[in-house]
Amino acid sequence: MAELGHEVLGVEIDDAKRAALSAGRAPFHEPGLDALLATHVGTGRLRFTDSFAEAGDFGDLHFLCVGTPQSAVGLGADLTAVVDAVESLAAQLTRPTLLVGKSTVPVGTAARLAERMAELAPVGAAAELAWNPEFLREGFGVEDTLHPDRIVMGVASERSEQVLRTFYADAIAGGTPVVVTDFATAELAKVAANAFLATKISFINAIAEVCEAAGADVVDLADAMGHDRRIGRAFLNAGVGFGGGCLPKDIRAFLHRAGELGVDDAMSFLKQVDDINQRRRAQLVQTATELLDGNLVGKRVCVWGAAFKPGSDDVRDSPALWIAGQLQLGGAKVIVYDPQAAHTARQVYPTLEYAGSSIEAARGADLILHLTEWQEFRELDPAEVGAAVARRVLLDGRNVLDAPAWRAAGWTLRGIGRRPA
Ligand code: UDX
């Protein structure tokens, strides 16, 4: 927002994160973000505080960007942070303002928050709420924020719409489409989009299982399907499945909310989407065990990748780490290498061994698993890796390595849903 020319005050209640941000450093890895932070903390256009009173005094517009993780006691979303932030801020709103919700929330949340604001805000009805979900992808957060592919405005008044249109004027002038709607539709637009993306991935992963049974090739098949403009090639990459802080918990929260609304039958397929995704991970552990002659005990397994996807150090619900953990539980010695996520992975799985490079992780390995498709793994020399390992056996859980090149260097390479070599 500072890059777009606005004066910005960020509220962060975690002392360590606020200190990092105030020093121009992001508390997580996101390409391009550190440079932007450093620039705008430097110019003074971006500052951080822990004070809601200061924020209330400062802002004409407030963006609510806190997390909505899966509840500790069920499938639903934990809205504690959202409610706390809105209540803390609302009590400080003494002049006309628009509070804009960005967080992914169960449908119906915005209407309840608007009521709560009306009760708490000293300025009364002049403090309004709008719902404007973000659709940014980790690893492309900066790009997706500066150049969104759509802007969804869930509003309750013309004034709110005008404020948002002014705020997003550059993007709108640049051609970004705008959908103006009510709170409930805006909330659903986010969860429905994520549910659709998750469904696409689980669909192709289910097809990958059929391909394996039938001796067909899921990559050729996804290409063939993707040429149909109504389908599109994106999100048809079969592999170890989806993870991260969004897709898994969003489909569960959606299912849960559909149940509360009495339409669980309509959304019951999402349970299968989740099941297919979990099964992929378990099957990969099984295939790895088979490639190790049915016995994991004492075997050395190299895992390339720990983040849930490349370009991020996020390991929340990461398929790669789950698989690494399971193989270790089965008795294997597991050595993990990830270009960015070792520090976050270590916090979740401190007992795994972490190497400083792809080759170091591969040294003496009986099996290599490629589970997060960082570009640097694609650039490895099969002969050089071959000289480091005990056995040239590689399982490509993302179907992106150059299989003919690895096989030509003497490797046994297996993919997911690929035609047997
Ligand atoms: C997602 C949505 O894409 C984004 O719009 C929303 O705002 C937040 O949630 P993100 O969690 O960053 O973004 O990751 P995404 O790129 O969607 O990937 C999710 C998972 O699906 C990753 O684990 C990825 O490896 C996996 N994936 C993606 C596949 O397995 N196959 C694919 O074809 C695409």
CATH number reported for the structural domain that contains residue 335 in this entry: 3.40.50.720
Specify whether 98 is located in the same domain as 152.
yes
Residue 401: inside a domain = yes
- For residues 142 and 40, the answer to whether their CB atoms sit within 8 Å is no
Q: Is the pLDDT of residue 421 over 90?
A: no
- What's the CA-to-centroid distance between 30 and ligand 1, angstroms? 15
Which tokens in the block code for residue 347? 């916090």
| Number of structural domains in the chain | 2
Specify whether 292 is located in the same domain as 379.
yes
Residue range 278-322, pLDDT digits in tens: 999 999 999 999 999 999 999 999 999 999 999 999 999 999 999
Q: How many residues does the chain have?
A: 421
Specify whether 290 is located in the same domain as 339.
yes
Q: Which atom of ligand 1 is nearest to the CA of 133?
A: 7
Specify whether 133 is located in the same domain as 279.
no
Residue 43: inside a domain = no
> Sheet harboring 412-414: ordered strands across?
353-354, 333-337, 300-304, 367-370, 393-396, 412-414
Task: Pick the residue whose CA is nearest to atom 34 on ligand 1.
Answer: 235
Q: What share of the chain is helix, strand, coil (3-state, %, to 5)?
A: 45, 15, 40
Confidence (pLDDT) at 420: 78
Specify whether 107 is located in the same domain as 234.
no
Specify whether 231 is located in the same domain as 339.
yes
The Cα 260–Cα 254 span in angstroms is 10
- For residues 62 and 99, the answer to whether their CB atoms sit within 8 Å is yes
Other CB atoms within 10 A of residue 355 CB: 18
Residues 397, 402, 404, 406, CA torsion sign: negative
Specify whether 231 is located in the same domain as 366.
yes
Q: Which of 181, 199, 228 is the last residue of a domain?
A: 181
CB 135 near ligand 1, within 6 Å: yes
- What are the distances in angstroms from CA 210 to CA 204, 324, 354, 419? 10, 25, 35, 11
pTM of the model: 0.96
From 191, 309, 318, give the residue whose CB has the most ligand 1 atoms within 8 Å, as the site to mutate: 309
The Cα 111–Cα 232 span in angstroms is 35
CB 361 near ligand 1, within 6 Å: no
Mean pLDDT of 326-333: 98
Specify whether 248 is located in the same domain as 348.
yes
- What's the CA-to-centroid distance between 247 and ligand 1, angstroms? 7
Residue range 114-165, pLDDT digits in tens: 999 999 999 999 999 999 999 999 999 999 999 999 999 999 999 999 999 9
Is residue 65 annotated as a catalytic residue, yes or no?
no
Task: Pick the residue whose CA is nearest to atom 19 on ligand 1.
Answer: 242
Task: Pick the residue whose CA is nearest to atom 22 on ligand 1.
Answer: 242
Mean pLDDT of 215-225: 98
- What are the distances in angstroms from CA 123 to CA 62, 117, 314, 380? 15, 10, 40, 61
* Residue appearing with tokens 């400080």: 92
Task: Pick the residue whose CA is nearest to atom 28 on ligand 1.
Answer: 235
Q: Which residue out of 65, 211, 246, 302 is catalytically annotated?
A: 246
- What's the CA-to-centroid distance between 137 and ligand 1, angstroms? 7
